[in-house]
Amino acid sequence: CYLTTVSDDLEGIYEALKENALLSKFAGGLGNDWTNVRALGSYIKGTNGESQGVVPFLKVVNDTAVAVNQGGKRKGAVCAYLESWHLDVEEFLELRKNTGDDRRRTHDMNTANWIPDLFMKRVMEGGTWTLFSPSTCPDLHDKFGSDFERAYNVYEAKAASGELTLHKTLQARDLWRKMLSMLFETGHPWITFKDACNVRSPQQHVGVVHSSNLCTEITLNTSETEIAVCNLGSVNLVRHLTTGADGRKVLDQVKLKKTVSTAMRMLDNVIDINYYAVKKARDSNLRHRPVGLGIMGFQDALYELGTPYASDAAVEFADRSMEAVCYHAYWASTDLAAERGRYSSYRGSLWDRGILPQDSLDLLAQQRGGFVEVDRSTSMDWDALRERIREHGMRNSNCVAIAPTATISNIIGVDASIEPSFGNLSVKSNLSGEFTVVNEYLVRDLKKLGLWDDVMISDLKYFDGSLAKIDRIPAEVRSLYATAFEVDPSWLVEAAARRQKWIDQAQSLNIYMAGASGKRLDETYKLAWLRGLKTTYYLRTTSASHVEMSTV
């Protein structure tokens, strides 16, 4: 994954496009931060003209992603990020619409809102919100937390007094409503939170996180001289369960520690042996050495534990399993530091200051002045890790990020990432073609109950892999095998919040919502913000109509 910042001049913009093309050619997924680029109607000193804003350039980004695929193996993919105070944000929200002027639409690329906490507070409190051009407020882009709030208030006062002419004031809730309605209508732009990403970033002493990446799990600094790179790996959680003394499945800490320390060593090696298509990416990666170790097969582990996704027990397992993965990952990085040396920008980082990811929640609460409601329970010896980091430092600026794992989880046959099961009977497709996937755990349990027969197969097909209406299946089995759209989205957010407590980057969190309404969207995304989540990914909703079923 690569993250880039686009500078506000023609040379910088086309340099960024060239970098996108080169990175995409060698199978990179891209996240571009476009907030620097001046808004529509801004003055251009060199030509004494007016700027066309961000949107026409995004059209070119879109077409570049289509033209340069990832090594001929999969489609080129890019996500553009824009902060919510940018004067072009309203048009940015509409980029994925199927109506309107097609020259101002991007049908093939992803978009994401990079939302400051001040905006969310104004939404909560029913206040107004002012949009600016970065050409007249260049420092907002690099500020976050209370610093951003102070600077923003100064610009609002200037706008009110007439000192700043290029601005627009609207109700914060109206813009929030438009964000959510576009998300519902087009699946974009995704909702990501600037301040949670920055205030909790271990590397805030040497830069700013200006965007996330293509899949919203990477939160690394970018600038005109640095392209952030993150090499990813994922632990198959279901293969790290063992049978406890009481006969129940539990997390095998010994095996997990061994896997995680091996994975961290592999990822650290990759930084040195990788091919970098762009020098800025190489320099940045060797300087900070970030990696992103994540998990997959979370849903499979719940099946083995006999725990429904929509339950307190599942939220607790999300907490404890992620705590273990992160603990072992950070420990492995400090082991590597003892063996190979610290990463070069370690001095002054949160690690260096003895602040671990779960401690950084206090920093977030302090900067927001509240609005952080997160469970703080722990179960491992974090003081021992703190002491070890104090002694040896860290080999990697960042260690953990949960990627979507769409392809690799298919290959090994588990549910992707932290996703709930999409369906007990479904068809997946990629460039290799389409293939039918049946939930093996369900088949195993139905066979035990003597319920696996031709009628059951027909029923599963008829109900799209959902068990909700198949009465002869016992209620506890139906609840265990509830599919993504049968799980209330608040459970997804609660489990993600427990994981985010431990993670030094972020996670690709899809939100599944059956019967989406404005009210439910509003509640779900406000909950995500209050629970301290850094990012969210796709909003998945159900279609209003169904195709007539046929079986072969």
Active site residues: 213, 215, 217
**CA atoms of 321 and 317, how far apart (whole Å):** 6
Give residue 360's identity as a one-letter amino acid code: S
The answer for residues whose C-beta is within 8 angstroms of residue 40's C-beta and 6 or more apart is 50, 51, 52, 53, 54, 55, 87, 88, 91
Burial of 114 (0-12, 13-18, 19+ CB in 10 A): buried
Phi, psi (degrees; rounded to nearest 5) at 201: -80, 130
Angle CA 215–542–525, to nearest 5:
50
Report the 10 Å Cβ neighbour count for 72.
Answer: 8
- DSSP element (H, E) containing 513: strand 511-513
User: What is residue 293's DSSP assignment?
Assistant: E
Residue by residue, DSSP assigns 457-474 as HHHHHHTTT--TT-TTS-
74: which strand partners? 70
Report yes or no: 521 and 176 within 8 Å, Cβ to Cβ: no
Query: In the numeric block, which tokens belong to residue 130?
Result: 């002012």
The amino acid at 338: A
Query: How far out from the chain centre does Cα 182 lie?
Result: 19
Block residue for tokens 């046929």 = 550
DSSP secondary structure of 470-520: -TTS-HHHHHHT--GGGS-HHHHHHHHHHHHTT-SS-B---EEETT--HHH
